Structure 1
Amino acid sequence: MQVDNSIALMNAQYNSSTTSTLSTPTDALLKEQTDKFEAFFLKQVLDIAMNSEEENGLFEKDAGDKIYKSMYNDTMSSALSGGLGLSQMLFDYLKEGR
């Protein structure tokens, strides 16, 4: 099974260029935190999705599978964060509350 990461990586490059348009340093810190929250949320979703695949796997599991899947989910969640809209929605909500 081969996983295509090109869209996630392209999205990560796009998001890094859009964060430079924030007006104040406080906005930049808030955006960074909302992106991290979105990454955490995505990691939880990916962990659940990968666990369901584990039950019906075709191959034997070894000791490194859980570590590899966790590292993969960390990387994918970081690459995808900021692109779903949850981060932007949370950022706008928290910015209005200040």
Structure 2
Amino acid sequence: MNIDTSLAMLSRSYAPPVAKIETEDDVKLKEQTDKFEAFFIKQVLDIALKNENTLFPKDPGDKIYQSMYNDTMSESFSGSFGFSELLFNYLKEQR
């Protein structure tokens, strides 16, 4: 049995056109779209990383530390998931 993977390989190699950052407004727009992506990722992390059944007892600062951890992770991930690039390209075309 032969499996045709040509369509899968075609979609894998396809990359949407990347809008170039040319002006100062583009730089500001890219910063904002990266911040939006970071916010989106933080919301996902807040839901995914709920520690309701932990091995360790709860501390008064657990929620603060978890929130700070999710903030740091979302900021470091922003710009790499593609939401920011997609939004940036769309908004740049709308101008």
Shorter-chain TM-score range: 0.7 to 0.9
Match of 1:57 in 2: 54
Secondary structure of 1:55's match? coil
Match of 1:28 in 2: 27
Count of residues paired in the alignment = 76
Q: Kindly indicate whether residue 59 of structure 2 is the aligned counterpart of residue 69 of structure 1.
A: no
Aligned AA (2:75)? S
Cα separation, 1, equivalents of 2:52 and 2:33: 33
Give the fraction of aligned pairs with identical amino acids, expressed as a percent: 67
Structure in which a larger fraction of residues adopt helix: 1
State the TM-score, normalizing by the size of structure 2: 0.76
Alpha-carbon distance, 1:64 to partner: 0.9
Aligned alpha-carbon RMSD (Å): 1.0
Cα separation, 2, equivalents of 1:66 and 1:55: 11
Instruction: Find runs of 4+ consecutive structure 1 residues off by over 4 angstroms.
Output: none
Cα separation, 1, equivalents of 2:75 and 2:63: 18
- Structure 1 unaligned residues grouped into runs of 5+: 1-20
Structure number with greater Rg is: 2
Cα separation, 2, equivalents of 1:73 and 1:82: 16
Alpha-carbon distance, 1:84 to partner: 0.3
State the TM-score, normalizing by the size of structure 1: 0.74
